[in-house]
Structure 1
């Protein structure tokens, strides 16, 4: 099991508040530069495609201001994983082609310096303790009026809705895994309000107990869980 670490250097020690837009645009640019076919497959103008990857960010000493994020230094890191190993290899090759190229962002720029492939231990237990690395978004979509309801860790429907999110993910991608026995229990949950493409949205961070088959837990470890995974949400680290 592999996770990819990308180390960036910034021209100025700051980043825009709408990081999801920035990183998604970087992912798109990386694919366009590497494979038009893969770009069209994932981001083409046809119907939205459910993706198998997720990412989280490490922002050293970050201070979140109203209009920007101020960093302690001119660097930050991105951790990327994908449950589709073939696709992950293509992303790694795409990232390598972006090294040392300035990528503009709001009177500033960032430059990818290094690309690391880090080995991760496979999950062999059916119960693990995890720390959320990029906020967990648990969403219930109301088809009747096309609205969304977002749940936080202490809501009685939190676990049931996350399980439904996972079931939809498996069903749409035709992955033959069962969610029987899947559950999430907050150990030290915390609500945050995150920006999702400019919209304030309730989300979750903290430490949780996950239960499920090792096969399912490994899939979620690589693809993330919940909603908005490919926009930097739902990535977790196993701490026990």
Structure 2
């Protein structure tokens, strides 16, 4: 398994509050710059495939003021993974083509200056302790009201709703892996409110116990779990 570590340099040490929206815009630009086929496959709403990647962002010394995040220096990192090994090679090549190119940020600019590929060990246990590196969004759609319900770790049905999110993802990916027995249990969790393209939703950070078969856990390790994974949510690292 591979994780890509991307380092960006900013003209000014600040980012917009909805930096995930900025990163999605960058990913779209990188995929289109690499090949129109890759962009169409991932981002054309008419026939795009289910996305199998996720990312988290490290913002050194971040201070949140209004609609702006002020950083300690003018660099930040993004950690990117993809459950599709062929696709992550495409992403690596796409990112290489974006190196040192100025990318506009509202009243600012950034450029990708470093790309590193790191190997990750496979999960060999059916129970692991994980720490969320980006907020976990657990969502259930109510077909009667046509509204989304967002769950936090303290809500009844949190684990069941997450399992439903994972089952839908696995089905759409057409992966023959068993989701039976998957569960999540908060260990040291906390609720956060995140901005998702102009909408505030409840999400979860902290430490959790995950149970499930190894093959499934390895897929989630690379693809993330929950909703809005490809927008920088649901990525975790293993503590134990």
Q: Is the 8 A contact 2:82 2:222 kept in 1?
A: yes
In the other structure, the counterpart of 1:42 is 42
Give unmatched runs, 5+ long, in structure 1.
Answer: none
Structure 2: gaps spanning 5 or more residues: none
Residue in structure 2 matched with residue 162 of structure 1 by the alignment:
162
Secondary structure of the structure 2 residue equivalent to 1:46: coil
1:198-226 Cα deviation digits (max 9, x unpaired)? 11100000000000001000000000000
Of the structure 1 ranges 47-56 and 191-200, higher mean CA displacement relative to structure 2 is found in 47-56
5 Å-filtered alignment, 1:177-188, equals 177-188=177-188
Give SS of 2:218's match.
helix
Per-residue deviation at 1:95?
0.1
1:116-151 CA distance string (max 9 Å, x none)? 001111100000000000000000011233210000
Q: How many residues align?
A: 240
Q: Which residue of 2 aligns with 1:213?
A: 213
Q: Matched residues in 1 for 2:20 and 2:149: separation?
A: 20
Cα RMSD (Å): 0.9
SS across alignment from 1:42: helix
2:191 aligned with 1:191, yes or no?
yes
Compute the TM-score of the two structures, normalised by the length of structure 1: 0.98
Q: Does 1:129 align with 2:125?
A: no
1:89 correspondence with 2:84: no
Q: Does 1:73 align with 2:73?
A: yes
Task: Report SS of the residue matched to 1:237.
Answer: strand
Could you give the per-residue CA deviations for residues 70-89 of structure 1, whole angstroms, max 9, x where no partner exists?
00000000000000000000
Task: Measure, in 1, the Cα distance between the counterparts of 2:145 and 2:174.
Answer: 27
Which ranges of 4 or more aligned residues in structure 1 deviate by more than 6 Å? none
* 2:233 alignment counterpart: 233
Q: Does 1:10 align with 2:10?
A: yes
**TM-fit CA distance, 1:64:** 1.1
Q: Which residue of 2 aligns with 1:146?
A: 146
Q: Deviations over 1:49-105 (max 9, x none)?
A: 420000000000001111100000000000000000000000000000000000011
Quote the residue 1:62 is aligned against. Answer: 62
- 1:47 offset after TM fit, Å? 4.9
